Amino acid sequence: MGRSDVRYDGQKKYISSRMYLAHETDFLNLPTLFSDTGTTVPMSPKTIAAVRAGDEIYVRDMTIDVELALSSVNDHGNTMLHLAAAAGHTSLVCYILYAYPGLLMKSNLMGEVALHVAAGAGHLDVVEALVSYINDKITRAVAKKIYFAKNRNEDNALHVALKRKHVKVASCLVSAEQCLSFVPNNDGFSPLYLAIEAGQADLAKHMWKHSNNGSSSTYCLASKVGGRSIVHGAMKAKRKDLIAAILNEDASLINLRYEGRTCLSFGASIGYYEGVYYLLDKSIDSVYVSDDDGSFPIHMAAKYGHVKILKAILKRCPDALELLDIDGQNILHVAAKNGKAEVIKFILRCYKDKNKEKLINEEDVNGNTPLHLATKNWHPKVVSMLTWDNRVDLETLNHNGLTAIDVAEGNMDSSYTFFQRLTWMALISAGAPSGPNPIISTPVTDNPDGGKHKDRINTLLLVATLVATMTFTAGFTLPGGYNGSAPNLGMATLAKKTAFQVFLLFDTLAMYCSIVAVVALIWAHLGDISLIMKAFNLALPLLGFALISMSIAFMAGTHASISHLPFLAYFILGIGLFFLLALLLIIIPYVSPHYTTKLFLRHMFYCPYFLMLLAAGDNRNND
């Protein structure tokens, strides 16, 4: 948009002498301006076209009386003045004002007067003409009605100009009416807030300084500002210079709130570090001022994962680490509930002394620790991070008598989503114990006869049957074929090759595992829910192992068949190993009924688990 000349020069422009052919010094009275019958008639298409084209001669030659001119509108309720203002025909606007001044207060179907339309279109000359006429020819009381006229969204003309980013027009309107900048619309936005949010520093300063008539008095701005907090608007615009200018003008504005949030909490929530740092310098006590929902600024930083802001707050106020919100939750609770792993990592690394164990295992009003909340909201990365810290107590019971693993098993549904399985695996691998009243890990079902699991059983049964069929067929159509002559007649040609032997071993394993899985799933068709769950616990690992074995068998058989072409053989082997690793990462969380609790094995399996966490990303369902 470029840099705008914000200051309106204040020098009156008498746009056209024809505007004041008579009664140059007389003010129009109320009856003249509001002479409106309330009825409307359609404006002729020819008149509409002429006004839009700026045909002043046509408009002058029209022989219509004032009442007809006031009531003539197009389909959108626009009068001639609306149409001329929207098209930017300044000379025509001046004539219409002279001939039909009552059109100034006529609104269209959107509730807009001509000043709205001109401001929205960004026609500065037209706005200046309207302002000049209003100030010179209209009484002050009526002029205020025009300036403060609102459309259906309760926007005045200054709102409209700012929303359309017409800064020069906005500056002209500010100079015309001092108090226009502070009136909020339906959304609670004042023109001053819109200017600040858009980062228009010069215009914003012009607004509040013009409203003071050059006065340097303090504590006047807070009494005038309506709607949303302008300090929050400056924070949202991420303009430290505007924040400083506002608070230098009136320091009490730092106490305003937006949707229940203090200025510092709002800055912490959006991650605006420079603004938060400035507010901390301005008022360190705001760290200990809670929002309407009981949260403190440090909780907002933790909730949205802004570690840099956390560091700034804790550097100045170390004891803020132990602040609790209305639910009795500290920043670890908040970060764990919202899956902010970087915040958890920062707290666990920087506060390693035993005095902070209370913080790590602190219970909220429901007895939940950070581990409980991370588990409940299925944040596997956070759960894994907490379970690796020796200070975290895995045996803590909440007020329902549940440990973290109880919470996981109690909330896990029958679909076994990826995040749920990863969270559960993290707890199992850490050896998280169940409480005195352990949850029976049977998913809740609306149909006690197991009908809800029918589709899943059928799908698994189909896959297991296909694997069994393919591996059975592969056992009799061997790579390389059979010898056709003595002394090894009918024997496998490649029997002595290592790759072929690997093929046979894993093909056999895949076939038998899939057959056992088929039988287990047939039992599941009996419909008993406990039998279904046992069948799943048996069939899923077997089927997963069968798929992996079948992949290895294919890789080994292909390698044995083309071993005389070393480059191609090893290239295909490399491709097979890559996709085998991908298969392992995808299938293990789904089919594994248990996970190792041995420390050395836990370290060994953490790498693939970590890759699964990366593949899963962040669970934002609860954000």
Tens of pLDDT, residues 187-200: 889 999 999 999 99
Cα angle 611, 615, 620 (rounded to 5 degrees) comes to 125
Q: Is residue 122 part of a domain?
A: yes
| DSSP β-ladder status, 41-42 and 72-73 | parallel
**Helix (H) or strand (E) run with residue 72 in it:** strand 72-73
What pLDDT, on a 0 to 100 scale, did the predictor assign at position 476?
Answer: 85
Q: Which of 44, 45, 110, 46 is nearest to 82 (CA)?
A: 110
Cα angle 255, 257, 259 (rounded to 5 degrees) comes to 170
Res 607 pLDDT > 70: no
CATH number of the domain encompassing residue 7: 1.25.40.20
Least confident of 72-81, 349-358, 583-592: 583-592
Q: Is residue 401 part of a domain?
A: no
Distance CA 190, CA 208 (A): 12
Q: Is residue 38 part of a domain?
A: yes
Q: Is residue 261 part of a domain?
A: no
How sure is the predictor about 448, in pLDDT bands with cuts at 50, 70 and 90? very low
pLDDT in tens, 458-515: 888 999 999 999 999 988 888 888 777 777 777 888 888 888 899 999 999 999 999 9
Least confident of 89-98, 203-212, 251-260, 602-611: 602-611
pLDDT in tens, 8-61: 333 333 333 334 433 444 455 444 555 555 688 899 999 999 999 999 999 888
pLDDT in tens, 319-369: 999 999 999 999 999 999 999 999 999 999 888 776 667 889 999 999 999
Q: Is residue 511 part of a domain?
A: yes
**Residues 534-541: what's their mean pLDDT?**
85
What pLDDT, on a 0 to 100 scale, did the predictor assign at position 141?
Answer: 87
Where a domain ends, among 126, 148, 176? 176
What pLDDT, on a 0 to 100 scale, did the predictor assign at position 411?
Answer: 84
What does the mean pLDDT of the chain come to? 83
Where a domain ends, among 176, 197, 219? 176
Residue 614, amino acid = L
Q: Is residue 341 part of a domain?
A: no
Q: Which two tokens stand for residue 519?
A: 């039988």
Res 427 pLDDT > 90: no
pLDDT in tens, 150-196: 999 999 999 999 999 999 999 999 999 988 999 999 988 999 999 99
Question: Containing domain of residue 548, as a range?
Answer: 451-592
How sure is the predictor about 7, in pLDDT bands with cuts at 50, 70 and 90? very low
Contact 191, 180 (CB under 8 A): yes
453 to 110, 411, 419: CA distances (angstroms): 56, 17, 20
Name the E strands within 14-56: 41-42
What pLDDT, on a 0 to 100 scale, did the predictor assign at position 285?
Answer: 94
Residue 98: Cβ within 10 Å count: 17
Q: Which two tokens stand for residue 346?
A: 């920062």
Q: Is residue 288 part of a domain?
A: no
**Residues 391-398: what's their mean pLDDT?**
91
What are the start-end ranges of the H helices in 364-451? Answer: 370-376, 380-387, 404-411, 418-429
Q: Report how many domains make up the chain.
A: 2
Distance CA 448, CA 528 (A): 8
Where a domain ends, among 134, 159, 176? 176
What pLDDT, on a 0 to 100 scale, did the predictor assign at position 203?
Answer: 92
Distance CA 427, CA 404 (A): 8
Residue 38: Cβ within 10 Å count: 6
Q: Is residue 53 part of a domain?
A: yes
3-state helix, strand, coil in the chain (%, to 5): 60, 0, 35
pTM, whole model, 2 decimals?
Answer: 0.73
416 to 263, 411, 442, 530, 589: CA distances (angstroms): 42, 10, 12, 17, 9
What pLDDT, on a 0 to 100 scale, did the predictor assign at position 597?
Answer: 53
pLDDT in tens, 452-466: 577 778 888 999 999
Q: Which two tokens stand for residue 308?
A: 């840099």
